[in-house]
Amino acid sequence: MKVTAQIPATIANLGCGFDCLGLALPVYNVITIEETVLPGSGIEINIIDEFGLENIENIPRDKNNIVYKAIELLYNYIGQSPNELKISIKTGIPVARGLGSSASVIVGGLIAANELLGKPADEAVLLSIATEIEGHPDNIAPAILGGVVLSDWEVDGSVVSKKLPWPEDWLVTICIPDYELSTGISRSVLPADVPMKDAVYNLRHSAMFVQAVHTHDKELLKLALKDRLHQPYRTKLVPGMQQIMDNLKHTEGVLGCVLAGAGPSVAVIQDGTNTEAIKEIVSSTWNNINVNAQIYTLPVENEGAKIIV
């Protein structure tokens, strides 16, 4: 039997919601898994690259591959181990750019294996296993549910996720620079402790975010999309990010500008107007410091990971 899953890209944090807010975008990885019948054939992993990934040869093709690990965990969940498997990964989501590529392949491996095994795991179990692998739920939850999602990871390992009613006219201009930044490096610059006033600042802003989305309140969202827990520490890893934020501050149509996940991509949340001018400001700011970028304006993808074949 052969199963194919399609999983959206995601942007985590959204400024104020470090490790707990995220949204899905209509850019996808596609993962196919097939149990082969030939005993002893082991695992075969093929990667079909649609984005022009760098370092594609460094992606493990053995049991250390993260898709295989996710599949293995699902088999273990029902007390089994995978036998011979053929895994194909078609990558439409760039790697190490803050677009949830690792969450996407973890979720893809899990939902494809779940389908293959007759759906032993429900959504709560999938969320919990995927978050355990990833280490935080903010990319995983929108990859599974689609839309804009608020999620919480409890100490018992359970994940509580709530989809927020994102207004359809609010778009995301995603600006992807031509270099990679690993989440590990981007997390390593964060302090272990933060000042109480910064924690309270983000508490206020994430509460405002939820209210702004529920009431379609642009002015409140403009206030909400700010952060003191991670972006100030990561700015130095993303040359030009602060200038982009400054240059867009008073631009018509812009509701806010945030680091996409752990970076280095930058996401401009906008009200659907003035798109070309917004893109031009980002691209010329980066051009001035010799950073090339791909820039796309996209709606939020309301549908999460799904089996397509």
Residues engaged in binding ligand HSE (CB under 6 A): 12-13, 18-19, 136, 138-139, 183, 186-187, 230, 261-262
β 21-35/85-91 pair status? antiparallel
Shortest CB 233 distance to ligand HSE, Å: 11
Shortest CB 257 distance to ligand HSE, Å: 16
Shortest CB 260 distance to ligand HSE, Å: 9
C-alpha 113/C-alpha 131 separation (Å) is: 16
Shortest CB 119 distance to ligand HSE, Å: 27
Half-sphere exposure of 203 toward its Cβ, with a 13 Å CA cutoff? Answer: 7
Please say which residue, 42 or 157, places its beta carbon nearer to ligand HSE: 157
Please say which residue, 23 or 262, places its beta carbon nearer to ligand HSE: 262
C-alpha 121/C-alpha 111 separation (Å) is: 9
The CA-based angle 289-294-297, given to 5 degrees, is 120
Residue keyed to tokens 């302090």: 191
Residue keyed to tokens 């802003």: 205
Please say which residue, 32 or 161, places its beta carbon nearer to ligand HSE: 161
Among 167, 147, 140, 155, smallest CA distance to 221 is for: 167
Please say which residue, 173 or 186, places its beta carbon nearer to ligand HSE: 186
Please say which residue, 82 or 98, places its beta carbon nearer to ligand HSE: 98
Return the structure tokens found at 198.
Answer: 């910064």
Among 306, 22, 302, smallest CA distance to 153 is for: 22
Please say which residue, 72 or 134, places its beta carbon nearer to ligand HSE: 134
Shortest CB 63 distance to ligand HSE, Å: 23
Return the structure tokens found at 263.
Answer: 């970076």
Half-sphere exposure of 215 toward its Cβ, with a 13 Å CA cutoff? Answer: 11
Return the structure tokens found at 138.
Answer: 């903010």
Shortest CB 252 distance to ligand HSE, Å: 29
